[in-house]
Amino acid sequence: MKTKDVDLKKNVLIRNEKASADQPCGISPSLVKPISGLKDECLNWVKSVRDNPETNSGHYKYNRHMLRPCGLESTAHAVFILWILDALDKHEDRDNMVRFLKSTQDPLTGYFKDPLLNDGELAYTDGAHSWQHIWDHHTYVVHNALLLCGELPDHPLPNYSHTDFDKVDPEAWTRALDWSQPYLVAEEWMTTVKAYLTKHAGEPHVTESPQIQSAFKAMESVIEPESGMPIRLVKENPEGQGLGGIFKLLFAYVFCGRDYPYADNAVRSILKTQSDKGDFAGANMCMNWDAIVALRFLSDDLRRTAHRKKILQACQKLAERLCRDFRKSDGGFSFFHNTCLPNHNSVRVSAYYPESDVLGTAMCLDSLAIMQRWCCGKPGRSFLDVWTCYGKKPDELMETCFQVSSATRC
For 346-375, write each residue's pLDDT tens digit.
999 999 999 999 999 999 999 999 888 887
* Position 349, amino acid: V
What is the per-residue pLDDT across 110-140, written as a single tens digit (0 to 9) for each? 999 999 998 889 888 777 789 999 999 999 8
Which span out of 11-25, 27-41, 315-329 was modeled with the highest average pLDDT? 315-329
Q: How much is the pTM?
A: 0.87
3-state secondary structure of 112: strand
- pLDDT score, position 360: 98
Report the length, in residues, of the chain: 410
Percent helix / strand / coil, the chain, rounded to 5: 50, 5, 45
Mean pLDDT of the chain: 85
Tell me the three state secondary structure of residue 381. Answer: coil
pLDDT of 17 reads 33
Is the pLDDT at 4 greater than 60? The verdict is no
What pairs with residue 122 in β-bridges? Answer: 347
- Region 371-391 average pLDDT: 70
Q: Are 134 and 345 in contact (CB under 8 A)?
A: yes
